[in-house]
Chain A
Amino acid sequence: MKKISGVLLAVVAAFAMGGLALHRHEPINALWIVTAAVCIYLLGYRFYAAWIATRVLRVDPSRATPAERLSNGRDFVPTHRAIVFGHHFAAIAGPGPLVGPTLAAQFGYLPGTLWILVGAVLGGCVQDMTILLLSVRRDGRSLGQMARDELGPLGGLAALIGTLLILIVLAAVLGLVVVNAMKHSPWATSTVAATIPVAILVGLYLRLWRPGRVLEGSVIGVVLVLLAVLVGGWLDQQPTVRAWFDYGPLPLAACVVVYAWVAAILPVWLLLAPRDYLSTFLKLGTVALLAIAIVLTHPQIKMPAVTQFIDGSGPLFGGKLFPFVFITIACGAISGFHALVSSGTTPKLITNEADVRLVGYGSMALESFVAIMAIIAATLLDPGVYFAINSGAGVVGSTPELAVHTISGWGFPVSVQQMQDLARAMGEQTLFARTGGAPSLAVGMASIFGSSFGKGLLALWYHFAIMFEVVFILTTLDAGTRVGRFILQDLLGQAWAPLGRTSWYPSVLFASTLLVAAWGYFLYVGVIDPNGGVNILWPLFGIANQMLAAIALSVATGIIIKSGRARYALVTLGPLAWLAIITTTAAWQKITSPDPHIGFLAGAGDLAAKLAAGALSAERAAVAPQLIFNQRLDAALTVLFTAILWLVILDMARVCVRRLRGLPLRLSSEAPYRESRLPGAVVMGN
Chain B
Amino acid sequence: MPRLERIGRKLRACAAALWCGLRALSGDDAYERYRAHHAAHHPREPLLSRHAFCREAMQRKWGGVSRCC
Check A365 for interface membership: any CB of B closer than 8 A.
no
Q: B26, B41, B63, B67: which contacts A215 (Cβ < 8 A)? A: B26
A317: min CB distance to chain B, Å? 17
**In the complex, residue of chain B having the shortest beta-carbon distance to the beta carbon of A503:** B59
Check B4 for interface membership: any CB of A closer than 8 A.
no
Q: With A71-B37, A341-B68, A344-B65 known to touch, is A212 a contact of B60 (CB < 8 Å)? A: no
Check A449 for interface membership: any CB of B closer than 8 A.
no
Chain B interface size range? 35 or more
Q: Are A476 and B26 in contact (CB under 8 A)?
A: no
Q: With A87-B25, A215-B23, A685-B20 known to touch, is A74 a contact of B69 (CB < 8 Å)? A: no
Check A117 for interface membership: any CB of B closer than 8 A.
no
Q: Are A486 and B68 in contact (CB under 8 A)?
A: no
Q: B23, B56, B65, B69: which contacts A96 (Cβ < 8 A)? A: B69
Contact bitstring B29-60, A, C-beta under 8 A = 1, else 0: 11111101110010000000011011111111
Q: Are B67 and A345 in contact (CB under 8 A)?
A: no
Bound form: Cα–Cα A121–B31 in Å: 37
A204: min CB distance to chain B, Å? 13
Chain B residues with CB under 8 Å of A340's CB are: 65, 68
Q: A83, A142, A170, A686: which contacts B69 (Cβ < 8 A)? A: A170
Q: Are A480 and B67 in contact (CB under 8 A)?
A: yes
Bound form: Cα–Cα A211–B27 in Å: 12
Chain A residues with CB under 8 Å of B50's CB are: 211-212
Chain B residues with CB under 8 Å of A93's CB are: 68
Check A48 for interface membership: any CB of B closer than 8 A.
no
Chain B residues with CB under 8 Å of A96's CB are: 68-69
Bound form: Cα–Cα A354–B43 in Å: 32
The interface residues of chain B, by DSSP majority, are classed as: helix
Q: Are B66 and A479 in contact (CB under 8 A)?
A: yes
Q: Are B69 and A335 in contact (CB under 8 A)?
A: yes
B47: min CB distance to chain A, Å? 10
Q: B37, B51, B58, B66: which contacts A91 (Cβ < 8 A)? A: B66
Interface members, chain A 545-593 (any B CB < 8 Å):
545
Chain B residues with CB under 8 Å of A215's CB are: 22-23, 26, 28
**In the complex, residue of chain A having the shortest beta-carbon distance to the beta carbon of B35:** A73
Bound form: Cα–Cα A82–B24 in Å: 10
Bound form: Cα–Cα A71–B41 in Å: 10
Chain A residues with CB under 8 Å of B54's CB are: 206-207, 211-212
Q: B24, B27, B62, B65: which contacts A272 (Cβ < 8 A)? A: B62
Q: Are B29 and A479 in contact (CB under 8 A)?
A: no
Bound form: Cα–Cα A71–B42 in Å: 11
Most buried by A among B21, B23, B66: B66
Q: A79, A207, A277: which contacts B26 (Cβ < 8 A)? A: A277
Bound form: Cα–Cα A475–B25 in Å: 19
Bound form: Cα–Cα A74–B35 in Å: 10
Check A482 for interface membership: any CB of B closer than 8 A.
yes
Q: Are A213 and B69 in contact (CB under 8 A)?
A: no
Check B6 for interface membership: any CB of A closer than 8 A.
no
**In the complex, residue of chain B having the shortest beta-carbon distance to the beta carbon of A97:** B69
Bound form: Cα–Cα A268–B67 in Å: 14
Q: Are B24 and A483 in contact (CB under 8 A)?
A: no
Q: B20, B23, B24, B62: which contacts A273 (Cβ < 8 A)? A: B62
Q: With A92-B68, A340-B68 known to touch, is A73 a contact of B38 (CB < 8 Å)? A: yes
Q: Are A77 and B21 in contact (CB under 8 A)?
A: no
**In the complex, residue of chain A having the shortest beta-carbon distance to the beta carbon of B52:** A211
Q: Are B34 and A74 in contact (CB under 8 A)?
A: yes
Q: Are B67 and A91 in contact (CB under 8 A)?
A: yes
Bound form: Cα–Cα A338–B65 in Å: 10
Chain B residues with CB under 8 Å of A112's CB are: none
A-B contacts, 24 listed (Cβ < 8 Å):
A71-B41, A73-B34, A73-B38, A74-B34, A77-B33, A80-B21, A83-B24, A86-B25, A268-B58, A273-B62, A277-B26, A331-B68, A331-B69, A337-B68, A337-B69, A340-B65, A341-B68, A476-B68, A480-B69, A483-B65, A684-B17, A684-B24, A685-B17, A685-B29
Having A86-B25, A93-B68, one finds 5 other A-B pairs with CB under 8 Å, namely A72-B37, A211-B54, A331-B69, A337-B69, A479-B65
